[in-house]
Structures are given as C-alpha cells and as structure tokens.
Amino acid sequence: MFVLSILGTIAVLTAAQAAEQSDEKLLPAAPLNEQVLSLPGDPARPVTLQVTLFMPDGPGPFPLAVMNHGASSDGHPRDEPRYRLTFSAYYFLSRGYAVALPMMRGYASSGGTAAAHGCDVAASGLDNAKDIAAVIDSLAKDPKIDANRIVVAGQSLGGWNALAFGTLGHPGVKGLINFVGGMRESDCADQDAALARAAGTLGAQTKVPSIWLYGDNDKIFPVATWRAMYVRYTGAGGKAELVAFGNFMDDAHQLLSHPEGLPIWVPKVDAFLAQIGLPAAAVHPKYLPTPFPPATHYAAIGDVAAVPYLGDAGRKDYEAFLHQPLTRAFVVAPNGTYVVADGGFDAIARALALCGSHAAGCQLYAVDNDVVWKKDEAAAPVYQRTVAAGASTFLNFAYNLNPDCSTKDLPKIQLTQQPTHGTAKIEQRSDFPRFPATSPYAVCNDRQVPGMSVEYTPQTGFAGVDALAFEETTPPNHDTVFRLAITVK
C-alpha cells in the first residue's frame, strides 16, 4: 500500500504501478553492481549453478560472504525465484563485502537435481556444501575478491548447508553463520532426531567457529529441535555460539525477511565477525534501511484523533494503516499532506521522500505499532542552512561548560529525521564555543572544548533541498529540537 494525500487530494498507486515498483522498493538505493553468473558445481557431479554476485563500489579486493538460500515446501524447486532479495546480503554489502548467492542444484536456473538421502541429513548437507566449495573456488579467481577472508552463511536449509560446509576445512573461510538452519526430509520418519544426530556428526568434523541464531516461535524448527542440535554439535567438539532471541513477529523462521529483525541479529553478527578477524563496521550504511526511531508514547497507536493535521479522509486512511502488514510507516506534514507506506526495503524512507516532494516539515507519526511523533519537534522552528555540494559540513557544535570553561557532561544528540538526499553523522569533536560577547561565558570562546556535532554529507551529484532534524539534550534536563532546511549547491 502506498497512499499520498496532498491538501485533501488522495492518490493511491494502482496494482500495475505497484508491480512496476515491486523490485525497486525491495532493493536498497545503493549500487549492487549485480552479476548473474553460471559457475561449475562439485566436479565429482558436474553441473552448472546459477550464482548472483553483488559488489560494493571500489577496486577491492573485497572479503567474500556466501549467503545460501532456504527451500520452500510449496511448488517445484525449479520454480523458485533467483535468490537476491534478502537483508542479509544488504548487511554484508554495508560492511564492505562482495556477496555471492548461489542457487542449489535443481533450483531456479541451476542444473541437476538434489540427491535424496532419507534420514542421513548430514550427507544431504555435504552434497550442497561441495557445490558451495566449487562456487568459492571459481569466485576466488576474481582479483576483486579476497580469497583469504571468507564467511559462509545461510538461512533455513542454507544454514544447514553452511554448517555442513564447515566439515570441508576450506582454506580462507574464517567462520560460519547459521540463521535458523536445518532441513526436513519427507522420507525420514523421525526428522528431529535425524537433525540432532547429524549435528553431532558435523560438529565432530568442523574446526571453523560458527554462530547460530534461532527463535522460540520458529514454525519449522521448534525450540527442542534446535537446542538438541546445538548440544550435539558442541558436545562433539564444534565451536558455536548460540543466539536464542526469543519470539520474533509471528514466526522466528522469518528473521531475515523483515527489517524489524536487524536490531536482533546485526549486533550479534558484527561481534562474531570481529572475533574471527573479519570486517564488521558499517562502511556503506546506505545498504541498510532507516533505523526505527524509538516510541515516544505521544499517544496510543490506535488513537486516531491524536494524529495531527489530518482531516476526515486522513483519519480514515490512518485507521486503514493500522491494519496494513508490517513494516508500515505513517508520515504527516503541517499542510495536511500525509503518506502511508508498507513493506519493502525501507518504508520509512519511501514515505518521507514522497511526502517531502510535496510538502515541507514532513515527520514520521507512527512506525509499525509505535507512535514515534514528537510534539516539540513539530513546533520547532525551521533553520535554513546552505552547504556545498559534494562536501561534508558540520551543522552544529553543542557543548556544556562550567563558569571556569571546564566541561560538564557532554550533550547528547539524537537524529529524529534522517536526510533524504544525504547522510547525517553524530560525532564527538573539539572546537571553539561561540558565546555572545555579553555572556559571562564569552571568556571561553578562545579555547577549544569537547562537544558533539552533526555532520551532513549530500549524496554524490545532488543539488537541491534536503532536510533533517535532531534533538539535543543538555544535562540535567534541557531538551531542544532543531529542524533544518538544507540547500545544497
């Protein structure tokens, strides 16, 4: 759903228009440099595999993340779409990795068919692992890929295949990431016991460390199943960290399908990558969606009358918004414009951008089931700033001094509206304060003091109008909201 109201005139995208935007709204705006490759699988069972390769901009060589897909029980494997739309791939791109997404044999445009091994699910995983190894061997020949810095990951069946891959001891692979991994074989009478036994077999043969992520309300692998797998794997000598993250939405098996999952797994995977000596910092943040702002509790999510600026039509659409699937965002502007967006890669950014193209002062009112509106922010004056295109500019410098010019507790700054056409970064630095000459603190103006700043960087090639807002809190309890209209030229 994508609803835009401009001064009471409501436009809703048609089904055809929505279909045209479907892929666009599911992908980040950052460059993917996408390639679709045909690479050889396991040489002992010759087959050609379809592999999607994403790369960030730059010369490389990049560390390599191999992300392996799951399998649906509905339909034929040959009808599965090519694996490319996943927040896990965007995460690795944001950390500066090349990302390979191979299709298993028999899936999408990969040749061959998967062999059936009944309850010997370790053998099934090993078949797929040998194909993964062959893909890595081919990609290692690319000078833009660093074959000595590799992580192999997967979700569901792909997570199981990643664990099986660990038994191969492939050089250059530093770690394994298992997102809700496992497999189901219809011709196995006791699938859960088979998984536990096989996990012990894999753990006994694996030296590379791994991280496992599972939730309590997983509709495919219940808690008892994945806990038994973990106990058998580590008991046999496998090195693994278990992240039991509890319930997630209505199905923990869909952890990677929604941006709501990112705060759960990204910090854990960052820490794991850092532990095994691989990059874990966000060097390309545009590959990830806008972080969810915290709830403000301005009003209850279902309190339609509390939403500012809306007329009768807007309140009706807000009621409809409350029944839309997650992720969903509701944006309002003082002139009565409002936007509803749901699903996709970044509903928040899409809603703010569309609203901002028709109105000034657009602000998030609600995201998912939380009201994130800040009343003071809506009333705050708008400050005009002009900055140079193609360069970073410090927009403010906040400090908190004693009368002797020593520093009290540093102010805290929180971005409450992300810019649409650039990035904003909060950082600590030292600079000169700027007290008026009549202030008793003016004597501090000739010395540098520590403080907090907001730095704005426009997108490459952008010139025009952008906006951001931030909240500055100076201890003990002084809060100020700043809304900036930025002209980039």
For residue range 147-178, what is the model confidence (pLDDT) as tens digits?
A: 999 999 999 999 999 999 999 999 999 999 99
CATH numbers and ranges of domains, the chain:
2-17+309-373 (no CATH), 29-287 (3.40.50.1820), 381-488 (2.60.40)
98 vs 146: CA distance, rounded Å: 9
114 vs 111: CA distance, rounded Å: 10
Residue 323 banded pLDDT, cuts 50, 70, 90: very high
Tell me if residue 316 falls in helix, strand or coil: helix
pLDDT of residue 378: 53
Q: Is the pLDDT of residue 436 over 80?
A: yes
pLDDT of residue 333: 87
Ramachandran quadrant class, 102 (left: phi over 0; alpha: psi -120 to 50; beta: rest)? beta
99 vs 156: CA distance, rounded Å: 18
Q: Are 213 and 254 in contact (CB under 8 A)?
A: no
Residue 13 banded pLDDT, cuts 50, 70, 90: very low
Q: Tell me what the mean pLDDT of segment 129-143 comes to.
A: 98
Nearest CA-CA partner of 172 in 144, 133, 211, 202:
133
Residue 305 banded pLDDT, cuts 50, 70, 90: confident
pLDDT of residue 476: 58
Q: Are 95 and 64 in contact (CB under 8 A)?
A: no
Residue 380 banded pLDDT, cuts 50, 70, 90: low
Per this entry, what is the length of the chain?
Answer: 489
pLDDT of residue 16: 40
Q: Is the pLDDT of residue 232 over 50?
A: yes
Q: Print burial letters for 27-64: b (CB count within 10 Å at least 16), e (below 16).
A: bbebebeeeebebebbeeeebebbbbbbbbeeeeebbb
Neighbours of 175 (CB within 10 A): 22
For residue range 30-82, what is the model confidence (pLDDT) as tens digits?
A: 999 999 999 999 999 999 999 999 999 999 999 999 999 998 767 688 878 89
Instruction: Please report, for the chain, how many H helices and E strands are present, in that order.
Output: 10, 21
For residue range 177-218, what is the model confidence (pLDDT) as tens digits?
A: 999 999 998 888 899 999 999 999 999 999 999 999 999 999
pLDDT of residue 298: 83
Q: Tell me what the mean pLDDT of segment 323-341 comes to.
A: 90
Q: Tell me what the mean pLDDT of segment 124-135 comes to.
A: 97
Least confident of 272-276, 347-351, 484-488: 484-488
